[in-house]
Structure 1
């Protein structure tokens, strides 16, 4: 069984992944900014890790020991129109969702390269291949993450390292409900924000995502991109088939 380090394991998808991998017999190293939130997880190690702080990543790498698989899950989202979203919030999302993922990957890659084996699994989204209004900063951070992941697949593949990007659609993890919303009083984009529900479509559970992640880790030759569930597969197929000459939206909305 593999030794797996998971970022953002205190709740939602990360917590479900930790439980599923432990159930399958893997050695799980669960990490979070507040490790006390990991107390009840049935894992081998519980470590403090803030993906935005290099010293925190360095210390977690030392404490974790040998890591066969990195599951890069830590992430956040917001709701705001691009016209007025605070740029500090966009920078924060990139620090967590994109640079944080790369920072931890840089922490595990040297040892994997020396051993000639390793797995990197990045939690992305269907929004890593398409966009949704009012969630643009999150989507942009996931597009960037997918570019980094695909580059890593090319750069590190001949060292025996396999890279996968897992792409769920809507997940019933509570992340969207916890997202900060940046709308002014009488904001002209409020009707569009209120229409977002029409775009979410059918959701999957954190446990559904965890099963796909665990199956991907256990595949001898995992694919680069792994959609989670039929809804994500349909949307990504439609995006691929849509003309590049105009914006793509999964469904028409009135606002």
Structure 2
């Protein structure tokens, strides 16, 4: 079985992935900014790892030992129009969702390259290929993440390192409910904000994502992109078929 390090394993998708992989008898190294939140996970190691802190990443990778698979899951989102989103929040998302993912990948790649084997799994979203209004900062960070991942598939793939991108749609983890919102009642974008539920569409569970990620890890020749769940498959297929000369929306809205 593989030795798998997971970032952002304290809750939601990351926690579900840790449980699923542990149940399949992989050696799981669960990490989070607050390792006490990992106490009840039945995993081999529980480590502190903040993807935005280089010293934290370096220490966690030293403590983890040999890593066969990195599941890069740590992330966050906000709700705000691009016209007024605080740029500090925009930068925070990129540091966490994009730069942080690359920081950990840089940490594990030298050993993987030297062995001629390894697997980087990035938890993205359909928003790595599709935009949703008022979730643009998150989408931009995921589009950038997918560009990094596809580049790594070419660069590191030469040395035997596999790369996969998991692309779920809306997931019932509570992440959307916990997101910071920068839309007031009298905001000109408030009518659009009230329609976000329609745009998010049908949901899947964190366990659904965990099974897809675990199955991908266990495939001898995993695909680059893995749409997770029927809703994601439908949206991504529609996006691929849509004309490129106009914005694409997965659902109709009154705007």
**In structure 1, C-alpha distance between the alignment counterparts of 2:99 and 2:74, rounded to whole Å:** 11
Q: CA deviation at 1:184?
A: 3.5
Task: Report matched runs for 1:186-197 at 5 Å.
Answer: 186-197=186-197
Q: CA deviation at 1:230?
A: 0.9
Secondary structure at 1:237's aligned position in 2? helix
**In structure 2, C-alpha distance between the alignment counterparts of 1:52 and 1:242, rounded to whole Å:** 36
**In structure 2, C-alpha distance between the alignment counterparts of 1:203 and 1:110, rounded to whole Å:** 37
TM-score normalised over the length of structure 1: 0.99
State the number of aligned residues.
255
Residue of structure 1 in register with 2:111 after alignment? 111
Task: Report matched runs for 1:1-255 at 5 Å.
Answer: 1-255=1-255
8 Å CA contact 2:126–2:167 kept in 1: the answer is: yes
Secondary structure at 2:166's aligned position in 1? strand
Q: CA deviation at 1:69?
A: 0.2
**In structure 2, C-alpha distance between the alignment counterparts of 1:149 and 1:22, rounded to whole Å:** 25
**In structure 2, C-alpha distance between the alignment counterparts of 1:241 and 1:48, rounded to whole Å:** 43
Gapped runs of 5+ residues in structure 1? none
**In structure 2, C-alpha distance between the alignment counterparts of 1:187 and 1:50, rounded to whole Å:** 34
Secondary structure at 1:55's aligned position in 2? helix
**In structure 2, C-alpha distance between the alignment counterparts of 1:22 and 1:251, rounded to whole Å:** 37
**In structure 2, C-alpha distance between the alignment counterparts of 1:187 and 1:115, rounded to whole Å:** 54
Secondary structure at 2:156's aligned position in 1? helix
**In structure 1, C-alpha distance between the alignment counterparts of 2:63 and 2:54, rounded to whole Å:** 14
Q: CA deviation at 1:24?
A: 0.0
Q: CA deviation at 1:123?
A: 0.2
Gapped runs of 5+ residues in structure 2? none
> Deviations along 1:184-220, whole A, 9 cap, x unmatched?
4510101100011111111110000000000000000
